[in-house]
Chain A
Amino acid sequence: MTGTRGHTLDIVAVTHRYGAVTAVADVSLAVRAGEIVALLGPSGCGKTTLLRVVAGFVRPQAGSVRIDGAAIDGLPANLRNVGIVFQNYALFPHMTVAQNVAYGLEARGRPRAEVRRTVETFLDVVRLGDFRDRLPRQLSGGQQQRVALARALAVEPTVLLLDEPFNALDKGLRLDMQIEIKRLQRQFGLTAILVTHDQDEAMSVADRIAVMNHGRVEQFDTPVNVYDRPATLFVSGFVGTTNLLRGRALEAKNGCAVVTLDAGARLTVRTERAFTAGVPVVLSARPEQLCLYTAPAPERWSVTRRLSVPLGPNTMHDLETRDGATLKLIEPRHAYGVDAKEEVWCGLRPEAEPGLFDASSI
């Protein structure tokens, strides 16, 4: 199991088109050894194509894939030593669990005794030793996935690719499997790529997330940074829930921008970006970055409450601004006890750092 430790994966300027459709447009990602990177994005964003490029099922029109710095573009899929776990697990239906796990080793012509030993090891790793003689159809979804994992890991791949592996599992099992995969990945120091459209999954499993849209990587960063400091308007909307407030930038200097919102407020927002005065902007604020007040102020805007629903320990308010935008606001349940008829104002929490984007990027 020494062979699996520490391989870097570099995707360099990969472009792939299907006919007139560009599935992957000039994508570069550097994945560190022993890291899980999630490719997160809506369906059709090119994340699966990118995965298939790494696996060797798709030859990209341009760009290169490197493992430990060496290009593998010329190698067919069966010589790449890249493990893959598919959404539907793709277990060989006519083989038992043990035969499935042994398959890759036998294909490589390993000696019989070694095959048997390795199969035992990996069945124990995924805790399926008692199921070795079952057929895939006699297993539950979670067990099938563990077989698929054991099969992929048994050949000691340099990189493990996971193609929406939790999709077919029900919610309770999903978290267990996410923890399981994380555990195995840590145990073997595997470099892994997880393709998913589920942001929670990406946040909980990945060390870093590459958010993809229209074949491009919009942001490649840690889960916390992707959530707290989205690089683009798309990321702020796709990862987590956000409220968009339109307005104009008045001035921007010293890392701060003064903005007037169409909803009727004047705010100062911390931002790294530069805005010319008068340009239309969009403020992207998370529901938990907003706060309700009972008194007006220049940096607060008037809202009407349409609905308030309890959400576990929190209350979620559905609000409407004066210019017709709807907002979602989440706050601790006990914090707000005013009458529904009372007039309220919405503002940013003092510590909040909402995103500010050029409106033309919508």
Chain B
Amino acid sequence: MRRRRASDWSYSIVLGMLAALGFTILVGPVVIVLLTSFTEGRSIKFPPSGLSLQWYRLLFDPVRSSQIHRAAMNSLEVALIAMASATVLATLAAVGLARRRGAWVRAVDTFFMSPMILPMLAFGLAALMYFTFMGFRPSLALIAVGHVVVISPLVLRTTAASLSQLDPALLESSASLGAGWLYTFRRVTLPVIAPGIAAGAFLAFVASLDNVPVSLFLAGPRSDMLPIRIGLRRADRDGAGADAGDGAGGRPHATLAWMTLMRQP
């Protein structure tokens, strides 16, 4: 009896320590950054030297943080457009592929999912070369197109998953009650798979918002994106990029260095 109690006790200890370790690794950095942001000093140091809201004041200053603001608006705009396009395209693809068998169905599915397997950096570079060859100049619109390619698989997967949960008898019931396929799609299929589509859309939005590798290559001089801007600020301070503020030329160097540092895919 006593021995069993001891083993229960050690089990709880180990489990608790593992939980604490996980918590520290996952949540710790966020908490530290959050606390550091209230610092009074000029350097990033933990614990912060005194408390103030000066950095927040600076962040929301329309003049001094105008570049960050513009980058944030660009990122939001691209994320919204890319999410909406990806959601529509991937939902249609999922519906088209659902409950079909055969080699070509698998091939098409794999093709649609391939951006998830391909390193995004490789896709970004390839997309830049391809679009340049086609005569397009890097722009926000191109970034949105690039994002659609890499975030669509997220929507495709979640939507396909909820479609596979959809009871085919529901569709047959609907047909036997006199509904055509479009009516069935609108009143039965879509409402039932809506949670899956919404989950995919949310993932896609987040993925677009903090995408660096694709934006990096497709961004023009006037299309600054938030995650790149944040990375550049850091790189600037580390002295890795001299003229990183403007122009597409110097940018990739700085950001590549930063990305290697952050181990982004």
Contacts and interface: CB of A to CB of B under 8 A. Distances in A.
A93 B177 contact: no
Contact of B169 (A56, A88, A108, A151): A88
Interface residues of A, number: 26
B178 A79 contact: yes
A104 B172 contact: no
Interface in B147-162: none
A57 B173 CA distance: 10
Interface string A104-125: 1001100000000000000000
Contacts of A94: 191-192
Contacts of A90: 167, 169-170, 172-173
A107 B179 CA distance: 5
A80 B176 contact: yes
B173 A84 contact: yes
Contacts of B173: 84, 86, 90, 92, 151
Contacts of B180: 78, 107
Nearest to A77: B175
Contact of B188 (A57, A92, A104): A92
B9 interface: no
Contacts of B177: 78, 83, 103-104, 107, 151-152, 155
Given A88-B167, A93-B192, A94-B191, A81 B172 contact: no
Majority SS at the chain B contact face: helix
Given A103-B187, A107-B183, A92 B170 contact: yes
B174 interface: yes
Given A78-B179, A93-B192, A55 B172 contact: yes
B167 A103 contact: no
Interface in A46-90: 55-57, 76-84, 86, 88, 90
Nearest to A103: B177
A107 B172 contact: no
A108 B183 CA distance: 10
Nearest to B190: A94
A360 B41 CA distance: 100
Contact of B172 (A57, A93, A155, A157): A57
A84 B178 contact: no
Closest 5 CB pairs of A and B: A104-B177, A90-B169, A107-B179, A77-B175, A90-B173
19 contacts: A77-B172, A78-B178, A78-B180, A83-B177, A84-B172, A86-B172, A86-B173, A92-B170, A92-B173, A94-B191, A103-B174, A103-B177, A103-B179, A104-B177, A104-B178, A104-B179, A107-B177, A108-B178, A151-B177
Interface of B: 167, 169-170, 172-180, 183, 187-188, 191-192
Given A78-B178, A107-B179, 15 more contacts: A55-B176, A76-B175, A78-B179, A82-B176, A84-B172, A84-B176, A88-B169, A92-B170, A92-B188, A94-B192, A107-B177, A107-B178, A107-B187, A151-B177, A152-B176
Interface of A: 55-57, 76-84, 86, 88, 90, 92-94, 103-104, 107-108, 151-152, 155, 157
